[in-house]
Amino acid sequence: MAIVYDTYQRDEAERLLPLLKAGDGLRIVALHEGETITAAQFVAHVEHVAAQLPEAAAAVNLCEDRYAFLVAFCAIALRGQANLLPPSRAPHAVEEVMAAYPGCHVVGDRPLDPAPQRYHVLPALTVGAAVPVPIEWPSIPATQSVAVGYTSGSTGSPRPNVKTWRSLCASTAGNLRMLQHVVGEHFAVVATVPPQHVYGMEMSVLLPLLGEVQVHSGRPFFPADIATALSAMPEPRVLVTTPVHLRALVESGVALPPLAAMLSATAPMPPELAAQAERHFGAPLLEVFGSTETCAFASRRVIVDRHWSLYHGVHLHPQPDGTQIEAPQLDAPATLADIVQLHEQGRHFELCGRHADLLEIAGKRASLGDLTRRLLAIEGVEDGVVFQSDEADAIGVRRIAALAVAPGVSEQAILDALRASIDPVFLPRPLRLVGSLPRNETGKLPRAALLDLLARP
């Protein structure tokens, strides 16, 4: 079974935790450019790259190939540096992160033009003659800061969150335990999400470090490419994706090889889509709950579970304006903006909404999440979101706005349909029809991009 990094290790400040769990050095950890990569070959790649990295406190990891990202991630950590994971690969986002960490360098797996300052391209990760299994796996100090993840900006400006090696090992152990309970001890992962996103890093990069898991190094986008990637991996297979990607996959009608499970996060999974996906692909659809700040800490099977099941060692404590969480991966309790109701002696919870999403106008209450669900339920609406703009009305309440992708449907028809299901005080004004929503790589909607789209003529 996977190594479990329990909370007692928080007090062992100088403890070294291995890069890989002890085990067979010949086990497969990845499929990279058609070649299988063993644990021993992976460690050889990591040590080779680490020896070439410049001195610095941190490095921006821009590798797109999932295996290259994993090698760079571990090499950077072995050098005592932190992986900086910007909220996007856009040049301005990279520049902002670099400005916050003077002297940092950048690692990528392909040439860039223009390239950031101090940019280094990884050497070719070739598979040659048999690599001897190390007598001892490399180790990293438990309290070393190995990653800085950034929030998506869906509720404002992206915020940095520092992750220690102990924290990532603890959260990975929780994810591994959850997935093994559903699909068994050994499985293979194909993912449509980028490795720089914390969800992508958790579910498609770090798992092979602790468990009998192998990952596909690519990031397939089109349905046919996803099918091809899955076909290249052994059973049982797990598809790591998002609601946006899964909807496109279902609507394409493409046939996939047998799946053991599908995993989704980054946005609420509509139950109707989950049911469609399970019918099409014959596998359970699991949704995970977490954040950049906390990593994943709960899961559920959408079509059968309304309540979320907490990971081992996680405890929630409802507060008036949110929820306090204690988890093995957290060095101290944190506060979530989510409002929850506990069930079954606190082992399960019901999500009631986010504190920032709750609306109270003229003594009446609603939530932006529920309003968005009602918008998406209207026939002809393919995508949409309800949010509060920065503009306030005469009594100081920020106006409710909506963007909808609905070819062939008028704004008035959408408003009429909404009026039939919500109180008039919560009708979005303005409601604007757009060709597409400004979703990022994981399907999230950065608030700045929404406001920009709303302001366009």
CA distances from 227 to 196, 219, 232, 246, 252 (A): 23, 12, 9, 13, 11
Say how far apart CA 56 and CA 72 lie, in whole Å.
14
Do 329 and 370 lie in one domain? The reply is no
Tens digits of per-residue pLDDT, 175-217? 999 999 999 999 999 999 999 889 999 999 999 999 999 999 9
Given 303, 319, 352, the domain boundary residue is 352
Tens digits of per-residue pLDDT, 400-424? 899 999 998 999 999 999 988 888 8
Residue 244, pLDDT > 90, answer no
In a domain, 241, yes or no: yes
For the chain, what is the total number of helices (H) and then of strands (E)? Answer: 12, 27
Task: For 157-188, give one letter per residue: b (16+ CB within 10 A) or e.
Answer: ebebbebbbbbbbbbbbbbbbbbbebbeeebb
Comparing 59 with 393, which gets the higher pLDDT?
Answer: 59
Tens digits of per-residue pLDDT, 80-125? 999 999 988 888 889 999 999 999 999 999 998 888 999 999 999 9
Given 292, 324, 352, the domain boundary residue is 352
Residue 4, pLDDT > 50, answer no
Torsion of CA 164, 19, 99, 114, to 10 degrees: -150
Do 222 and 265 lie in one domain? The reply is yes
Burial of 323: CB neighbours in 10 Å, binned 0-12, 13-18, 19+: buried
Model confidence, pTM: 0.82
Residue 440, pLDDT > 60, answer yes
Residue 2, pLDDT > 50, answer no
pLDDT of amino acid 331: 92
pLDDT of amino acid 443: 76
pLDDT of amino acid 56: 95
In a domain, 1, yes or no: no
Given 317, 332, 352, the domain boundary residue is 352
Do 28 and 159 lie in one domain? The reply is yes
Task: State both tokens at 425.
Answer: 């005080």
pLDDT of amino acid 447: 84
pLDDT of amino acid 352: 82
Say how far apart CA 123 and CA 45 lie, in whole Å.
9
Helices (H), 211-367: 223-231, 243-252, 271-281
Residue 8 DSSP symbol: G
Residue 295, pLDDT > 60, answer yes
Domain CATH number, residue 372: 3.30.300.30
In a domain, 300, yes or no: yes
Tens digits of per-residue pLDDT, 254-291? 999 999 999 999 888 888 899 999 999 999 999 999 98
- The answer to whether 83 and 46 have CB atoms below 8 angstroms apart is no
Do 153 and 182 lie in one domain? The reply is yes
CA distances from 241 to 67, 199, 286, 420, 423 (A): 17, 10, 10, 34, 35
Share the mean pLDDT of the chain: 89
Neighbours of 366 (CB within 10 A): 20
Do 136 and 52 lie in one domain? The reply is yes
Say how far apart CA 18 and CA 135 lie, in whole Å.
13
In a domain, 175, yes or no: yes
Do 265 and 396 lie in one domain? The reply is no
Do 390 and 245 lie in one domain? The reply is no
Do 138 and 259 lie in one domain? The reply is yes
Task: State both tokens at 140.
Answer: 């990293």
Domain CATH number, residue 190: 3.40.50.12780
Do 347 and 371 lie in one domain? The reply is no
Looking at residues 283-307, what average pLDDT do you find?
Answer: 94
Do 344 and 393 lie in one domain? The reply is no
Domain count, the chain: 2
In a domain, 357, yes or no: no
pLDDT of amino acid 251: 92
In a domain, 182, yes or no: yes
Do 115 and 218 lie in one domain? The reply is yes
Tens digits of per-residue pLDDT, 326-355? 999 999 999 988 889 999 988 999 988 776
Sheet bearing 398-405, strands edge to edge: 383-392, 398-405, 431-433
CA distances from 403 to 259, 377, 432 (A): 35, 14, 5
With a pLDDT cut of 70, the percent of the chain lying above it is: 91
- Domain with 440 in it: 362-455
Do 325 and 395 lie in one domain? The reply is no
The residue length of the chain stands at 457
Tens digits of per-residue pLDDT, 348-377? 999 887 766 677 676 667 778 888 888 988
In a domain, 297, yes or no: yes
Strands 58-61 vs 105-108: parallel, antiparallel or unpaired: parallel
pLDDT of amino acid 144: 96
- The answer to whether 260 and 189 have CB atoms below 8 angstroms apart is no
In a domain, 2, yes or no: no
